[in-house]
Amino acid sequence: MRAVVQRVSSASVTIENEVTGKIDGGLVVLLGIEETDTAEDIEWLAGKIVNLRVFRDDTGAMNRSLLDEGGGILLISQFTLFASTKKGTKPSWHRAAKPPVAVPLYEAMIARLTTALGRPVATGRFGAMMQVALVNDGPVTLLLDTKDRE
């Protein structure tokens, strides 16, 4: 699994002119799932996301987590995070999980983040054409990969 995590002051996702998810502040998580991902990847990544200390404390240092801040999560499925651009200029999506594998893992991630956060997670819709609007705060943007746990 790969996730692009952005600290935001606000974010929303719109599908067919309807806002389906919105947060006032917290983290936007763009989530890519590949065929080899498992429940262990979900556990590691969800734990990392809610505990990342990327929010400022009283001294201005990034020492507070999403749990400390009480912020929200907007989770968006994004198969393009597994694009391969090795050959030519047309990306290949062969590493991205197909819906029969990806949908259950995406839904499991929603459930795990909801449990870890203690409140519902805002989401887009798997496979839908979405417009994601956000105000990146900082900016703070991190790339997490469960196969390369730096």
Domain of 82: which CATH number?
3.50.80.10
The catalytic position among 6, 14, 55, 78 is: 78
The yes-or-no answer on residue 78 being catalytic is yes
Q: How far apart are the C-alpha atoms of 23 and 122, rounded to whole Å?
A: 7
The count of domains in the chain is 1
State which residues form the domain around 64: 2-139
The answer as to whether 144 is a domain residue is: no
Catalytic residue status for 6: no
Q: Is residue 14 part of a domain?
A: yes
Q: Tell me what pLDDT residue 119 has.
A: 93
- Per-residue pLDDT at 150 exceeds 80: no
d(CA 132, CA 23): 12
In a domain, 148, yes or no: no
CA dihedral 16, 20, 26, 30 (to 10 degrees): -60
- pTM (predicted TM-score): 0.94
Task: State yes or no: is 82 an active-site residue.
Answer: no
SS3 state of residue 113: helix
Any domain includes 146: no
Does residue 150 belong to any structural domain of this protein? no
Asked if residue 134 is part of any domain, the answer here is yes
Report the share of the chain in percent with pLDDT over 70.
100
Q: What is the pLDDT of residues 76-115, one digit of tens each?
A: 999 988 888 888 888 888 788 899 999 999 999 999 999 9
